[in-house]
């Protein structure tokens, strides 16, 4: 054993011996108690529950009246959205090969059946359902006016080749221009209530 190794081992042994002696001789340090002010602040209220701010109830009658008043504008906006989407769909399908086209037709049929099922449902909407239905048109605008994210999704769904991607990008850019013009010409409430208008009977009914 070399002198350098021996010195290293002795150093480690002395360190361990000193550490062990300290552990055995020093008393364990008690954990300080939690300050009373903190425990009082975090303690439950007298009823056993934490007080929560109350959420104002949704005024369904007012919402129904607003939808009824704006229905002509809502119908016009929805019709124009449908027109823009139909125009895009016609041109998009022309770019697909037979296998892609068959898949697209099946997907569109599934989407239509899903939407028809939602409209046929007569279950009263909860306050949360109504809130989400008002938010959905605004979040849907993202997919209506963006080009690259939508192109990436269509490319993934239908395995578009490079030439198809170039053509679809042009179609999406044209669609975006049309949507911008429509959004500029449409009052915000008509857009916000466009998903709720077909469900007005479920809005009027008391939610659970």
- φ, ψ dihedrals at 56, nearest 5°: -60, 140
Residue 161 DSSP label: -
By mean pLDDT, which of 47-56, 125-134, 152-161, 171-180 is the weakest?
A: 47-56
Higher local confidence (pLDDT), 103 or 41: 103
What pLDDT does residue 115 have?
A: 84
Task: Give the model confidence (pLDDT) of 56-80 as tens digits.
Answer: 678 999 999 999 999 999 999 999 9
186 phi and psi angles, rounded to 5 deg: -110, 125
Question: What local confidence, expressed as pLDDT, does residue 33 receive?
Answer: 44
Higher pLDDT, 35 or 167: 167
In which region does residue 21 sit, left (phi positive, over 0), alpha (psi from -120 to 50) or beta (all else)? alpha
Query: Taking 70 as the threshold, does the pLDDT of residue 200 lie above it?
Result: yes
Angle subtended by helix axes 162-185 and 60-94, to nearest 10:
150
Confidence category of residue 55, pLDDT binned at 50, 70, 90: low
Say if residue 51's pLDDT is above 90: no
Tokens encoding 178 = 């049309």
Tell me what the pLDDT averaged over the chain comes to. Answer: 80
pLDDT of residue 30 exceeding 50, the answer is no
Report the pLDDT value the prediction gives residue 117, as an integer from 0 to 100. 87
The Cα–Cα gap between 127 and 55 comes to: 11
- Characterize 55-94 residue by residue with b for buried, 16 or more Cβ atoms within 10 angstroms of its Cβ, and e for exposed: eeebebeebeeebeebeebbeebbebbeebeeebeeebee
Q: At residue 127, does pLDDT exceed 80?
A: yes
User: Which own/partner pairs from 125-128 qualify as long-range (CB within 8 Å, at least 24 positions apart)?
Assistant: 125/199, 125/202, 125/203, 125/205, 125/207, 126/207, 126/208, 127/57, 127/58, 127/207
More confident residue, 172 or 143: 172
More confident residue, 131 or 52: 131
pLDDT of residue 38: 34
CA-to-CA distance for 144 and 153, rounded, in angstroms? 13
Q: pLDDT above 90 covers what percent of the chain?
A: 57
Cα gap 168→179, rounded to integer Å: 16
> Does 34 score more than 90 pLDDT?
no
CA 151 → CA 27, 117, 164, 165, distances in Å?
Answer: 69, 28, 10, 7
Own/partner long-range contacts of 110-113 (Cβ < 8 Å, ≥24 apart)? none
């Amino acid at each position: 054993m070399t002198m350098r190794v021996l010195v290293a081992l002795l150093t480690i042994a002395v360190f361990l011996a000193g550490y062990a002696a300290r552990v055995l001789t020093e008393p364990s340090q008690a954990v300080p108690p939690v300050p009373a002010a903190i425990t009082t602040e975090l303690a439950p209220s007298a009823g056993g529950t934490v007080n929560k701010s109350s959420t104002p109830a949704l005024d369904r009658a007012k919402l129904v009246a607003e939808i009824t008043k704006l229905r002509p504008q809502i119908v016009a906006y929805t019709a124009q959205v449908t027109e823009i989407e139909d125009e895009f769909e016609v041109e998009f399908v022309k770019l697909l090969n037979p296998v892609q086209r068959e898949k697209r037709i099946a997907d569109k049929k599934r989407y239509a059946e899903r939407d028809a099922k939602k409209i046929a449902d007569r279950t009263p909407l909860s306050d949360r359902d109504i809130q989400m239905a008002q938010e959905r048109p605004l979040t849907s605008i993202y997919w209506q006016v963006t080009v690259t994210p939508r192109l990436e999704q269509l490319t993934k769904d239908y395995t578009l080749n490079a030439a198809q991607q170039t053509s679809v990008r042009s179609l999406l850019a044209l669609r975006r221009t049309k949507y911008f013009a429509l959004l500029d010409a449409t009052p915000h409430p008509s857009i916000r209530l466009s998903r709720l208008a077909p469900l007005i009977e479920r809005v009027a009914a008391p939610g659970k």
